[in-house]
Amino acid sequence: MNTLTLTSSQQFGPIVGMVVNSVDSEHSQRAYEKALTDFLSWYAQQGHPGLKKAVVQAYKRKLRGDGLAPATVNQRLCAIRKLATEASDNGMMKPHLAQGIQRVKGIKTAGVRVGNWLTVEQAQQLLGAPNVKTAKGLRDRAVLAVLLGAGLRRAECTRLTFDQIQLREARWVLVDLIGKGNRVRSVPLPSWAKVAIDTWAARARISQGLVFRSMRKGDRVNRDAAMTPGAIWSVVRTYAEAVGLGEIAPHDLRRTYAKLAHKGGAELEQISLSLGHASLQTTQKYLGLEQDLTDAPCDRLGLRLE
């Protein structure tokens, strides 16, 4: 077959697998799979008109009409472009059709979206939320300690092993973490986070392999199964809601780590290295340093309500 018309849903399945397997990040794999599954559903409703530039442009208009954020639309278009590339590279689509789809532009965005982060008091409240009389509570406290104390991504947290926790220059360090873009880094670990890990490990009676394991009923540790990124998300959401912090995601704790470190006087370059960012500019945007929310222009207006 030298062209991909996608005249049936069956043709689409193998190509989705190719696209998902072409990216390394678990987060990207999930995002691409959802994006392409949604596209397939819409495509079927249109009567399988053939995969080409005009069809992708029509889908882009549909996404915008649904009121999706520009970043979400762009992410979904990226998945479809990847679909066309994989199909072309595997001889299932004519190159000129794939090139046409590659030319479908995303939506331009301006500025930097401000994310959530916690104050010191809120972070301390969250850290103290788990019930440390149970194995699950000790595990969950250790998870929160690593997210807040080292700024790890949730996927990095699930992959953390005991042999990566090492003494370097008289302090504990998480060594050889593999992050986004396969960048390798080492991150200093505060002593209180190491205590949280040790307490959990002692209760779970584990000292090798993965640090964080799933739990069974009856507060029993499943030593043969790691926590999933989704389980990390559930831990953060559950305790954040329990202490009244609202909808907080694991990445908000990573951002909190960076914000509190910066406010505490840590150098921007060192924060960037710990986060595993590709450049200082990425870290500056991540922290929102261009906009001062503490001493803001609106604080200097001199107005008040009578």
Largest CA distance in the chain: 75
**What's the CA gap between 6 and 4, in Å, rounded?**
6
Give the closest residue to 174 by CA, choosing from 162, 182, 183, 16. 162
Which CATH number covers residue 61?
1.10.150.130
Q: Backbone phi, then psi, for 172, in 5-degree steps?
A: -80, 135
pLDDT tens digit string along 141-154? Answer: 999 999 999 999 99
- Same domain assignment for residues 64 and 209: no
Structural domain ending residue among the three candidates 76, 102, 128: 102
Catalytic residues: 153, 180, 251, 254, 277, 286
Looking at the domain assignment, is residue 2 inside a domain? no
Report yes or no on 113 lying in a domain: no
* pLDDT tens per residue across span 247-293: 888 989 999 998 899 888 888 889 888 888 878 877 777 776 665 65
Asked if 184 and 266 sit in the same domain, the reply is yes
- Do 140 and 78 reside in the same domain of the chain? no
Distances (CA, A) of 231 to 81, 191, 234, 243, 276: 31, 25, 5, 19, 23
Residues 6+ apart with CB under 8 A from 13: none
User: Rounded to an integer, what distance in angstroms lies between the CA atom of residue 294 and that of residue 257?
Assistant: 18
Q: Are both 79 and 177 inside the same structural domain?
A: no
DSSP secondary structure string for all residues of 228-243: PHHHHHHHHHHHHHHT
Domain co-membership, 141 together with 280: yes
135 with 207, same domain: the answer is: yes
Write out pLDDT tens, residues 200-217. 999 999 999 999 999 999
**270 and 135 inside one domain:** yes
Domain assignment present for residue 278? The answer is yes
pLDDT over 70 at 41, yes or no: yes
Domain assignment present for residue 71? The answer is yes
Determine, yes or no, domain membership for 300. no
Closest CA to 286 of 266, 263, 264, 256: 256
Are 126 and 246 contained in the same domain?
yes
Which pLDDT band, with edges at 50, 70 and 90, does 1 fall under? Answer: very low
Residue 259's nearest CA partner among 229, 234, 291 is 291
On whether both 46 and 160 belong to a single domain, the answer is no
> Which domain does 129 fall in, by range?
120-287
* 219 and 138 within one domain: yes
pTM of the model: 0.65
Residue 273: CATH number of its domain: 1.10.443.10
Q: Is 280 domain-assigned?
A: yes
- State how far Cα 233 lies from the chain centre: 10
Dihedral pair phi/psi, residue 217, rounded to 5°: -60, 155
Task: With a cut of 50, say whether residue 223 has pLDDT above it.
Answer: yes
Identify whether residues 145 and 31 lie together within a single domain. Answer: no
pLDDT, tens digit (0-9, with 9 covering 90-100), for 7-19: 444 556 677 888 8
Is residue 40 in a domain? yes
Please tell me whether residue 167 adopts helix, strand or coil conformation. Answer: strand
Average pLDDT over the chain, rounded to whole? Answer: 85
* Edge-to-edge strands, sheet with 171-178: 165-168, 171-178, 184-188
- List, in order, residues 6 or more apart from 151 with CB less than 8 Å away: 187, 253, 254, 257, 258, 261, 274, 275
129 inside domain: yes
The verdict on 95 and 124 lying in the same domain is: no
pLDDT > 60? residue 221: yes
What's the number of domains the chain is made of? 2
CA distances from 301 to 16, 40, 125, 305 (A): 54, 52, 34, 12
Cα(32)–Cα(50) distance, rounded to whole angstroms? 20
